[in-house]
Amino acid sequence: MTARVVLRNPRRELTIDAPKRVKVVLRELAIDPDAVLVIRGEELLTREDLIEADDDIEIRPVISGGAVDVHTKCRRCGAKGVIELRRHNAAFCKECFLHFFTEQTKRAIEHEKMLEPTDRILVAVSGGKDSLALWDVLIRLGYDTTGYHIVLWTGEEYAPESLRYTQAFADERGVKLIVCDVREELGFAIPELPRTTGRPTCGACGLTKRHQISKAAFDLGFDVVCIGHNLDDEAAVLLGNVLRWDTEYLARQSPVLPSTEEGFVKKVKPLFRLSERETAAYAFLRGIDYQVEECPLVAGNTQLRYKAALDLLERDAPGTKAAFYLGFLERAKPELVNVEKPPMHTCPSCGMPTPGETCAFCKMSAVHEKKKR
Ligand code: AMP
Ligand code: ZN
């Protein structure tokens, strides 16, 4: 038994199996229920209504510019699509999506001059989808990579589990992984820091991660560090910087942080053109097992609120995030070249470059040492 469905703007007709609930049909067609009216004759249907055999249904977009075009075929080869990318107004089959993802990464690396074929690369891997997808692409592209994983102890189960995903990935591919356990190497776990230092958890954790990754890359003589930040991450950071009009951070925000100071190894983000959903799809389609759970301490993280705000905008206008961040890089950032950069010193405690007297990480860990007793 079937029903006829007409999609409008642009017009398309399909036949669906019936009976079936409206919400199921919309989900199968990857249509946002908030962006359309579902019409049967004179009546409007809700998500819970049943479309019955022989019904004539119209799905009509209601948001200006919210054209509902359903792509079920791969844009590149015409086979059945497995993922729809509304931002690109396209769907891809598995093989063509993996190709698309790899090409976007290659384009970022080449266009931004991120990596040389002979570079010794340290890949910072958390065990999540982004950094494992990144590592996978880099290995497939033939780069010389070593993984670097920090056990942060943000959760007693979460930490060993994240390490397990990372280690399994490395073992399966026969690539080298360096593991740094903060309890052993720094003498503390992340959850202790807010009480002793007064810093919010995610801030203290971010500071620790950046410091450890930079220090390891320098101490071990790597040419460049790769980080798994994606388009959603970068757009959220940009939104935060814009909301505070933090011109110093805006001037520095970039997919490539060059090695300007002695002691600071070049840092790059090859996934900056790819969304979080795309990195998740890549990891899934490649059969990469990754830590799907969020960090147990993430609640209240401001970046998540910025992400949620951008998701809301993206939902009704696919491409908003890309336009915001990629447009910033292309058009706004060049205007910020004259923003004064603070003079750098060498941290007397750890030897890393810093704008302050002692670096922020060493200051934090000194406070922690003093207060923990
Ligand atoms: P996050 O700050 O958790 O969004 O992570 C951003 C990026 O930092 C990841 O894509 C990784 O490249 C790196 N990273 C995060 N957590 C770790 C970790 N525990 N060990 C090594 N690198 C990490
Ligand atoms: Zn320091």
List per-residue pLDDT tens for the chain, 373 residues long: 999 999 876 678 999 999 999 999 998 888 877 777 888 988 888 888 899 999 999 998 765 444 445 557 888 998 887 787 888 888 898 999 999 999 999 999 999 999 999 999 999 999 999 999 999 999 999 999 999 999 999 999 999 999 999 999 999 999 999 999 999 999 999 999 999 999 999 999 999 999 999 999 999 999 999 999 999 999 999 999 999 999 999 999 999 999 988 889 999 999 999 998 899 889 988 999 999 888 889 877 888 899 989 989 998 889 999 999 999 999 999 999 888 888 888 999 999 999 888 999 999 999 999 998 7
* Ligand 1 lined by 228 (C-beta under 6 Å): yes
Judge if 137 and 252 occupy the same domain.
yes
User: Residue 94 Cα, ligand 1 centroid: separation in angstroms?
Assistant: 27
Residues 56 and 106 in one domain: no
The answer to whether the CB of 131 is under 6 A from ligand 1 is yes
Cα gap 55→17, rounded to integer Å = 11
For ligand 1, mutation pick of 105, 121, 125 (most atoms within 8 Å of CB)? 125
* Residues 101, 63 share a domain: no
Evaluate whether residue 364 is within a structural domain.
no
CATH number at residue 197: 3.40.50.620
Ligand 1: which atom is nearest the Cα of residue 303? Answer: 4
**Alpha-carbon span 326 to 235, nearest angstrom:** 9
| CB-based contacts of 263, cutoff 8 Å, min separation 6 | 218, 346, 351, 352, 353
CA of 356 to the centre of ligand 2 (A): 10
Classify residue 144: in a domain, yes or no.
yes
**51 and 176 assigned to the same domain:** no
Same domain for 312 and 267: yes
Same domain membership, residue 117 and residue 177: yes
Instruction: Specify if 168 maps to a domain.
Output: yes
CATH number at residue 29: 3.10.20.30
Q: Distance (Å, rounded) from C-alpha 144 to C-alpha 111?
A: 20
209 lines ligand 1 (CB under 6 A): yes
**Total domain count for the chain?**
2
Which residue out of 105, 131, 165, 288 has the highest number of ligand 1 atoms within 8 Å of its CB and is therefore the one to mutate? 131
Q: From the alpha carbon of 226, which atom of ligand 1 is closest?
A: 12
Specify whether 128 is located in the same domain as 188: yes
Residues 60, 134, single domain; the answer is no
d(CA 147, CA 53): 55
Asked, for residue 372, whether it belongs to a domain, the answer is no
Query: Nearest CA to 271 among 260, 263, 282, 262?
Result: 282
Same domain assignment for residues 53 and 123: no
* Domain extent for 262: 97-343
Last residue of a domain, one of 54, 70, 86: 70
- Is 329 among the domain residues? yes
Domain boundary among 70, 85, 113: 70
CA of 76 to the centre of ligand 2 (A): 50
Residue 352 lies in a domain: no
Give, using CA atoms, the residue closest to atom 18 of ligand 1: 126
- Token pair recorded at residue 218: 């320098």
Per-chain residues with Cβ under 5 A from ion ligand 2:
347, 349-350, 359, 362
Separation CA 93–CA 80 (nearest Å): 6
The verdict on 250 and 158 lying in the same domain is: yes
- 359 within some domain: no
Ligand 1 atom closest to the CA of 233, numbered from 1:
4
Amino acid (one-letter) located at 82? V
* Ligand 1 and 130: CB distance under 6 A: yes
| Residue 90, in any domain of the structure | no
Whether residue 275 is found in the same domain as residue 163: yes
363 CA distance to ligand 2 middle (Å): 7
Atom of ligand 1 nearest to the CA of 130: 10
Q: Are 202 and 240 part of one and the same domain?
A: yes
**Atom of ligand 1 minimally distant from the CA of 123:** 12
| Ligand 2 center–CA 294 separation, angstroms | 29
